[in-house]
Chain A
Amino acid sequence: NAGVTQTPKFQVLKTGQSMTLQCAQDMNHEYMSWYRQDPGMGLRLIHYSVGAGITDQGEVPNGYNVSRSTTEDFPLRLLSAAPSQTSVYFCASTALSGSSYNEQFFGPGTRLTVL
């Protein structure tokens, strides 16, 4: 199992540019989520999904879009990047049942800089 994978690992954007952060998991987990990590603030939930076709907002959703067309993939889109979106982004997945219930598996992160 590759677990949770994220691409790219690093990205530099100019203000106003758009991009998609990719996230994939091969554990057949129903639940996937995106967090951002800013210095001194821990991680904050952006968006989450409880299954294909179902997404919802977290604590800091503004400026981000998500979709979930398959169980495996949960991309995060920045439509018009702003410097305030400079952060490290983590994708996570978790099973909603079974022995790994509620154990969140995190991807390696994407470090995004918006100039």
Chain B
Amino acid sequence: AQKVTQAQTEISVVEKEDVTLDCVYETRDTTYYLFWYKQPPSGELVFLIRRNSFDEQNEISGRYSWNFQKSTSSFNFTITASQVVDSAVYFCALSEASQGAQKLVFGQGTRLTINP
């Protein structure tokens, strides 16, 4: 069965610190997709990244970077030089090709607070 675990319920750091959000997943499929979403205090869900299981290249987008490691079933998210605007709940999600690649299973979320 597919499962996503975000063990960090809450993280609090001071502005400009780097912070890594952990995501560990379980799946039996060889073809699957991993996602990160941001939910700011306003409540909407903002898509950050999609990665398929055949693409293990790390990705960097500005201050955001993602580390995908199939060997440890992890898809961690790092924010460099954090800013107050990064304060939000972050969700990692998984979908499996065999179950319908659009059916997302979400982790519990990590609440990130960036203090000025």
| B interface residues, tally (CB under 8 Å) | 23
How far does the alpha carbon of A47 sit from the alpha carbon of B45 in the complex, in Å? Answer: 18
Of A17-25, A66-74, A78-86, A88-96, which stretch is located at the interface?
Answer: A88-96
How far does the alpha carbon of A109 sit from the alpha carbon of B41 in the complex, in Å? Answer: 13
Of B60-68, B80-88, B105-113, which stretch is located at the interface?
Answer: B105-113
0 or 1 for each of A90-106: is its CB under 8 Å from B? (1 = yes): 10001010000011111
Q: Quick check: A102 and B109 within 8 Å, CB to CB?
A: no
How far does the alpha carbon of A96 sit from the alpha carbon of B100 in the complex, in Å? Answer: 10
- Report A-chain residues with C-beta under 8 Å of the C-beta of B116: none
A106 and B44 contact, Cβ closer than 8 Å, known pairs A40-B108, A41-B108, A42-B91: yes
| A interface residues, tally (CB under 8 Å) | 25
Interchain CB contact (< 8 A) of A43 among B47, B102, B104: B104
Q: Quick check: A33 and B102 within 8 Å, CB to CB?
A: yes
Q: Quick check: A102 and B33 within 8 Å, CB to CB?
A: yes
- Report B-chain residues with C-beta under 8 Å of the C-beta of A90: 45
0 or 1 for each of A1-39: is its CB under 8 Å from B? (1 = yes): 000000000000000000000000000000101010000
